[in-house]
Amino acid sequence: MAQDDLFKKLIAHAKEYGYIFQSSEIYDGLSAVYDYGQMGVELKNNIKKFWWDAMVKMNENIVGIDTAIFMHPAIWSASGHTSAFNDPLIDNKDSKKRYRADDLIEEHIQKYQTKINKDLAKGKKKFGDDFDEKQFLETNPNVLRNKAKIDDIQGRLVKALEADDLNEIKQIIIDCEIADPVSGSKNWTDVRQFNLMFETQLGSVADGASKIYLRPETAQGIFVNYLNVQKTGRMKIPFGIAQIGKAFRNEIVARQFIFRMREFEQMELQFFVKPGTEMKWFEYWKEMRIKWHKAMGLPEEKYRFHKHDKLAHYANAAYDIEFEFPFGFKELEGIHSRTDFDLSQHQKFSGKKIQYYDPESGESYVPYVVETSIGLDRTFLTILAGCLKEEELKKENGESDTRVILQIPPALAPIKLAVLPLVKKDGLPEKAREIINELKFDFICQYDEKDSIGRRYRRQDAIGTPYCITIDHQTLEDNTVTIRDRDTMKQERVQIPELAKIVEDKVSMKKLLKKIF
């Protein structure tokens, strides 16, 4: 399936099967805000559990918290968000469309990369087994020309962003002759900074309300509770605090479905370490996090690391884990070495001493922090994008047919099994109910008796249900059922009392965790 088509199909599929709805749809929607439906909420909860288990349950030195969305406004001054949480925006005067200026430039750079990839593919085709990719990339004149252009524009962009030089950012857009992707117009406004935090009021206006913000990241809730958790949990460095929660950003351009939302969820770990050991832990968490992603079983080549050229004001090293979404490789998770920036800032702004006393060495210090920060919604999107497939099937009569299947890893699938009586009579529905009443203590099950068994299997394939249990007339005689595997479509006859164990073995979260630990 072409990537554009795949993306359109994915969005339609997510709606049709109750995964994701546009927020406020009956009022024509609210831009870049989405609701999770009856299937979506289950998948989301399962992803959260997989992350929480991998962080908190599996690590003795990591604990979780759940902090409020509203926080004291001074926190955002201390963290730098009030002054520096900006994106450079630019408007096209003809189309009246608004863009992130750095995104326009990045997309332009991507075009040169696409040209390089095309030349590479041509070379491979032409020379077959004799093709030397390394030599080609180092010597082919077209490739070298395009590489030089990428390096030049990238270099200028990084410098301009670092220096907050908005005129230079506009100049790059002019020099590269970047046009509005919608209208083709090159009639641009100047570049302006735009703060991404949503503001609101705490208390009524008459009472002298104070301006507060909806948190743009969950991390600060962890930093300001560092002392509380360290003391009450008697935590010894190195240790981590994990949190899952909502974050809000007034994104300038919010396209690409749930990839860039104005209200989203993050899963963050702040890992506190002794100064000087942060690079060791940075490498450790890079490796652990990529293992976590790969444990889900999506194609490994869809993940890659991207090193940050421009470091955030607080970081001394940063990598992203990128995923190849239908619209290209994009950030899925950030792994940052944040130094002691945040704790030191909170120490300064709050006037409270935020330090760790090391009982072994007798020293006191402000801990350094390694952070892993992943978007829950973006992870959800990787699963939809990586698991939605259309399969050609050969029927027994030789005709071909297709089925749509959502190959979600069984441990994360919303519905673990469907229980289906072959016909709606002869006591089969009653037997099916009896089975479901037992299995529902362990798994989310679905009962379905409508339509032919083939159509019911297809419905479950499209939802992503890993197993279907069918009750037929033989069931009444020998207490056996068939269990059908979503991926292979193979059916096996098994004893009813063994069902719970068979399914548990296949859908347990432990299976995923064992791939990491």
Residue 148 DSSP one-character state: H
Residue 221 makes contact with ligand ATP by CB under 6 A: no
Question: Quick one: which H or E segment has residue 491?
Answer: strand 491-495
Residue 189 — left, alpha, or beta (φ > 0 → left; ψ -120 to 50 → alpha)? Answer: beta
Least distance from C-beta 79 to ligand ATP, angstroms? 12
Nearer to ligand ATP, 179 or 253 (CB): 253
Residue 266 makes contact with ligand ATP by CB under 6 A: yes
For ligand ATP, the binding residues in 42-81 under the rule CB under 6 A are none
Least distance from C-beta 435 to ligand ATP, angstroms? 40
Residue 251 makes contact with ligand ATP by CB under 6 A: yes
Query: Nearest Cα to 337, choosing from 365, 306, 315?
Result: 315
Given the rule CB under 6 A, which of 134-142, 172-180, 326-334, 338-346 is the region that contacts ligand ATP? 326-334
Residue 261 makes contact with ligand ATP by CB under 6 A: yes
Answer yes or no: are the C-beta atoms of 266 and 245 closer than 8 Å. yes
Other C-beta atoms closer than 10 Å to the C-beta of 452 total 9
Could you list the beta-strand ranges (E) of 232-377: 239-248, 263-273, 303-307, 317-325, 328-339, 356-357, 364-365, 368-375
- Residue among 90, 332, 343, 496 that touches ligand ATP (CB under 6 A): 332
Nearer to ligand ATP, 140 or 195 (CB): 195
Count of residues touching ligand ATP (by CB under 6 A): 16
- Side chain identity at 299, as an amino acid letter? P
Residue 249 makes contact with ligand ATP by CB under 6 A: yes
Least distance from C-beta 374 to ligand ATP, angstroms? 6
Least distance from C-beta 313 to ligand ATP, angstroms? 13
Query: Nearest Cα to 505, choosing from 514, 174, 277, 284?
Result: 514
Radius of gyration of the chain, Cα coordinates, nearest whole angstrom? 27
CB-based burial label for 226 (10 Å; 0-12, 13-18, 19+): buried
Could you give the angle at which helices 101-127 and 166-175 cross, rounded to 10 degrees? 40
Nearer to ligand ATP, 94 or 322 (CB): 322
Residue 324 makes contact with ligand ATP by CB under 6 A: no
Could you list the beta-strand ranges (E) of 45-104: 62-64, 86-91, 98-100
Helix, strand and coil percent figures for the chain, each rounded to 5:
45, 25, 30
Residue 410 makes contact with ligand ATP by CB under 6 A: no
Residue 260 makes contact with ligand ATP by CB under 6 A: yes
Least distance from C-beta 334 to ligand ATP, angstroms? 4
Least distance from C-beta 189 to ligand ATP, angstroms? 22
Least distance from C-beta 242 to ligand ATP, angstroms? 14
Residue 319 makes contact with ligand ATP by CB under 6 A: no
Least distance from C-beta 254 to ligand ATP, angstroms? 7
Least distance from C-beta 52 to ligand ATP, angstroms? 17
Nearer to ligand ATP, 311 or 453 (CB): 311
Nearer to ligand ATP, 103 or 438 (CB): 103
Encoding tokens for residue 42? 């289950």
Encoding tokens for residue 445? 């099950």
Residue 215 makes contact with ligand ATP by CB under 6 A: no
What b/e readout covers 480-517, taking b as 16+ CB neighbours within 10 angstroms? Answer: bbbbbebeeeeeeebebeebeeebeebbebeebbeebe
Residue with the shortest CB distance to ligand ATP = 375
Q: Tell me the C-alpha distance between 176 and 186, whole Å.
A: 11
Residue 179 — left, alpha, or beta (φ > 0 → left; ψ -120 to 50 → alpha)? Answer: beta
Residue 108 makes contact with ligand ATP by CB under 6 A: no
- Residue among 221, 245, 326, 334 that touches ligand ATP (CB under 6 A): 334
Nearer to ligand ATP, 62 or 332 (CB): 332
For ligand ATP, the binding residues in 336-395 under the rule CB under 6 A are 373-375, 377-378
Least distance from C-beta 370 to ligand ATP, angstroms? 14
Which single residue is written with the structure tokens 């309300």? 209
Answer yes or no: are the C-beta atoms of 305 and 320 closer than 8 Å. yes
Nearer to ligand ATP, 11 or 261 (CB): 261
Least distance from C-beta 55 to ligand ATP, angstroms? 15
Least distance from C-beta 195 to ligand ATP, angstroms? 13
End-to-end Cα separation, the chain, in angstroms: 35
Nearer to ligand ATP, 99 or 264 (CB): 264
Given the rule CB under 6 A, which of 122-130, 325-333, 343-351, 479-487 is the region that contacts ligand ATP? 325-333
Residue 109 makes contact with ligand ATP by CB under 6 A: no
Output the 3-class SS for 179-197: CCCCCCCCCECCCEEEECC
Q: Tell me the C-alpha distance between 190 and 227, whole Å.
A: 45
Residue 456 makes contact with ligand ATP by CB under 6 A: no
Least distance from C-beta 8 to ligand ATP, angstroms? 20
Residues that bind ligand ATP (CB under 6 A): 217, 249, 251, 260-261, 264, 266, 331-334, 373-375, 377-378
